[in-house]
């Protein structure tokens, strides 16, 4: 097992001005990754889940957030229809969150003078992350002060480097590791690129607990290639709306290869100047139909290429970003929460996804990439 949570010891290599310099340390190793026995209602959570939830709830009690989530949970309902979207009423996120930065391009440089995560107060930092073998902890978990759900945090892979909001292979590997450190299928993790609802141009990913099953966990798919090349994991295309998404699955035995595959896909999208959203969750192996519907031992990563949106443009009922594409809909007003339908959701999402013809052309390029 990994070492317990540790207080921050004096470290001559650390920068004393960073808000995370004195944050506790969470160390983990390969032995802590959970690759079996993950089921809905199947356990009380891992050591990682306990540490995250405890630190997060302490910050909620201390008033570190812009608003409090109800202790009984956000109002939630399933929309009628085969997609079984989960709608949640969360009006304060729409009104109280920090105003998004002005985003002008997919490759906008990091701007040190603007808001970035080196400027957050120390109370927002939960802990530093260090995997076994690392000389020092480079990644952080910090609270999202405008939470979507309980446990909503930001994974900051290497905040001191001032990286823009572009996925790196290391950030993808760390994200996959976090999901395998958790024994709760409720933990979700994702990324919004610039032009795809990212509001801060400083590399970060979102993670939060959603205690509702999503259809994406077992949604049917079909492979792009009968067999991928030696470097990459197989990639599937989702078969049902909201489709035009790319699915990758890992059982946890090949995390560096999974990170490499996702990074290669993201690189292709950048070369095509395509914004994108990424959602990762515990789920079933890909295929149609899923072999064991209750199995959540592996992780599904779904990448949606989409139409880029620059400037402040929002939908009335909900914005379209990583959680909405996955089937979780934070709703802004009671009226929309009560009246929203599956057809309306699908029509709204469809406006942001690539047209079928353009997506088909992209699939041809991805297929060639995977042959390597």
Cα-based distances in Å from 214 to 83, 283, 352: 9, 9, 21
Q: What pLDDT digit, counting tens, does each position of 23-78 carry?
A: 999 999 999 999 999 999 877 789 999 999 999 999 999 999 999 999 999 999 99
CB 325 within 8 A of CB 241: no
Percentages helix, strand, coil for the chain (3-state, rounded to 5) are 25, 20, 55
Asked if residue 14 has pLDDT above 80, the reply is no
pTM: 0.93
Is residue 300 one of the residues assigned to a domain?
yes
Give the CATH number for residue 52.
Answer: 3.30.428.70
Is residue 362 one of the residues assigned to a domain?
yes
Is residue 13 one of the residues assigned to a domain?
no
CB 218 within 8 A of CB 236: no
Instruction: Give the β-pairing of 25-28 and 125-131.
Output: parallel
Mean pLDDT of 256-270: 97
- Asked which of 84-88, 234-238, 293-297 is least confident by mean pLDDT, the reply is 293-297
Q: Which of 202, 204, 276, 328 is catalytic?
A: 204
Asked if residue 154 has pLDDT above 70, the reply is yes
User: Domain range spanning residue 137?
Assistant: 25-370
Residue 10's pLDDT band (cuts 50, 70, 90): very low
Is residue 9 one of the residues assigned to a domain?
no
CA distance 131 to 359: 37
Q: What pLDDT digit, counting tens, does each position of 240-254 carry?
A: 888 899 999 999 999
Is residue 20 one of the residues assigned to a domain?
no
In sequence order, the 6+-apart residues with CB closer than 8 A to the CB of 345 are 79, 83, 85, 318, 329
The number of folded domains in the chain is 1
CB 101 within 8 A of CB 200: yes
Asked if residue 113 has pLDDT above 50, the reply is yes
CB 349 within 8 A of CB 329: no
Asked about 204 being catalytic, the answer comes back as yes
């Amino acid at each position: 097992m990994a070492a317990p949570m540790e207080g921050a010891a004096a470290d001559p290599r650390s920068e004393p001005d960073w808000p995370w310099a004195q944050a506790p340390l969470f160390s983990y190793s390969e032995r802590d990754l959970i690759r079996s026995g993950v089921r809905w209602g199947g356990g009380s959570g891992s050591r990682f889940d306990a540490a995250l939830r405890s630190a997060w709830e302490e910050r909620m009690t201390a008033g570190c957030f812009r608003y409090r989530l109800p202790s009984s949970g956000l109002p939630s309902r399933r929309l009628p229809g085969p997609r079984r979207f989960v709608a949640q009423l969360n009006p304060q996120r729409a009104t109280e969150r920090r105003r998004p930065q002005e985003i002008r391009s997919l490759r906008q440089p990091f701007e040190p003078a603007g808001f970035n995560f080196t400027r957050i107060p120390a109370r927002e930092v939960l802990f530093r992350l260090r995997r076994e073998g690392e000389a020092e902890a480079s990644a952080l978990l910090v609270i999202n002060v405008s939470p979507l759900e309980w446990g909503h945090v930001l994974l900051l892979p290497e905040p001191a480097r001032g990286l823009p909001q572009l996925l790196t292979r290391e950030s993808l590997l760390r994200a996959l590791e976090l999901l395998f450190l958790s024994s709760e299928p409720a933990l979700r993790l994702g990324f919004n690129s610039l032009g795809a609802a990212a509001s801060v141009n400083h590399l970060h990913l979102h993670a939060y607990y959603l205690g509702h099953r999503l259809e994406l966990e077992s949604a049917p798919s079909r492979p792009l290639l009968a067999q991928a090349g030696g470097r990459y994991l197989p990639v599937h295309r989702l078969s049902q709306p909201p489709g035009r998404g790319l699915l990758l699955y890992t059982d946890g035995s090949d995390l560096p290869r999974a990170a490499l595959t996702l990074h290669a896909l993201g690189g292709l999208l950048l070369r095509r100047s395509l914004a994108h959203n990424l959602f990762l969750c515990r789920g079933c192996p890909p295929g149609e139909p899923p072999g064991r519907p209750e199995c959540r031992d592996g992780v599904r990563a779904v990448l949606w290429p989409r139409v880029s949106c620059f400037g402040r443009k929002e939908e009335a009922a909900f914005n379209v970003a990583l959680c909405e594409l996955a089937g979780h809909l934070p709703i802004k007003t009671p009226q929309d929460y009560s009246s929203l339908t599956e057809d309306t959701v699908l029509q709204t999402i469809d406006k942001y996804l690539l047209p079928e013809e353009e997506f088909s052309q992209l699939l041809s390029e991805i297929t060639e990439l995977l042959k390597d």
